[in-house]
Amino acid sequence: MKKRKIDFLLDNLLKRTAGKLLLCFGFWVVPVLVQGQNAKEIVMRMDKKWRGDYVTQEMTMTIIRPTWQRSISMKTWGRGMDYSMVYITAPAKEKGQVFMKRNKEMWNWVPSIDRMIKLPPSMMMQSWMGSDFTNDDLIRESSVVRDYVHSIIGAEEILGRMCYKIKLIPKQEAAVVWGKVILWITKEDDLQLKIEFYDEDEYLVNTQLLSDIREMGGRVIPCKLEMIPADEEGKKTVIDITSADYRTEVKESFFSQQNMKRIR
């Protein structure tokens, strides 16, 4: 009888302990799953707000070096994640050049030599027009939504706004070169305020800072973008968005090689 009573007590104790462990793990697992789901949703909302269904912008890029600087003006058009076009309006030497992404194809029209050049994926990470931005940054070949796995790793205040700190790890099949990307996205209104780009060895390569938040073209966006190389003191590239239109539809037919030669 005594042994049976001890076995009964031990059995109850194990059941209670197991129940508490399941309860604890249950409360721990659910937030992690929800957090992973929310991280992607936050990035999707940010990307949607930044790109819009369609957008037309005018901007000036200033390349800053320790002993010199130069500016490039441009007009850009975008439709979702799959279509974008960049037209150089100044300086005179580069004026008329056009870059276009249509689905997975990237093209560059160079009027000075009357030539249409197809850009291979291997060129996406090369410097765009000698700046600290890449072809991928301007032509938008990769996608922060589709090409990465997302997770929230913390929170931090930037420019007086609380931000989610979200880690992006590239999917195995994704054609990206970054080993890791860290995004800071505001909790209140899904604005991207900082990005860190790391190589495959997890060394910081570039930091992008976004500021000058104001209403433009029907929505509130950061209008100043700074790309700062990690190991090159005195170098950075600044983009100032001077106008934006998120209301006027940019049709899919706009993004054609024929139109690259016609736009002004």
Euclidean distance between CA atoms 174 and 148, whole angstroms: 8
- DSSP class of 191: -
Euclidean distance between CA atoms 82 and 159, whole angstroms: 31
Q: State the SS3 of 209-248.
A: EEEEEEEECCEEEEEEEEEEECCCCCCEEEEEEEEEECCC
Which residues in the chain land under pLDDT 50?
1-10, 12-37
Q: What is the pLDDT of residue 142?
A: 65
For residue 95, what are its two tokens?
């004026």
The pTM (predicted TM-score) of the whole model is 0.81
Q: What is the pLDDT of residue 52?
A: 86
Q: What is the pLDDT of residue 104?
A: 81
Q: What is the pLDDT of residue 134?
A: 85
Q: Is 219 exposed, middle or buried (0-12, 13-18, 19+ CB in 10 A)?
A: middle
- DSSP class of 256: S
Class at the top of the CATH hierarchy for domain 47-262? mainly beta
Q: What is the pLDDT of residue 73?
A: 97
Euclidean distance between CA atoms 13 and 171, whole angstroms: 45
How many whole angstroms from its chain centre is CA 59? 18
Euclidean distance between CA atoms 125 and 109, whole angstroms: 19
Q: What is the pLDDT of residue 218?
A: 86
Q: What is the pLDDT of residue 140?
A: 63
Q: What is the pLDDT of residue 3?
A: 45
DSSP, residue by residue, 14-78: HHHHHHHHHHHHHHHHHHHHHHHHHHHHHHHHHHHHHH-SEEEEEEEEEEE-SS-EEEEEEEEEE
Euclidean distance between CA atoms 167 and 36, whole angstroms: 10
Q: What is the pLDDT of residue 122?
A: 75
Please report, for the chain, the start and end positions of each structural domain, with discontinuous segments joined by +.
47-262
Q: What is the pLDDT of residue 141?
A: 58
Q: Which bin fits 234, alpha (ψ -120 to 50), beta or left (φ > 0)?
A: left
For residue 198, what are its two tokens?
């790391």
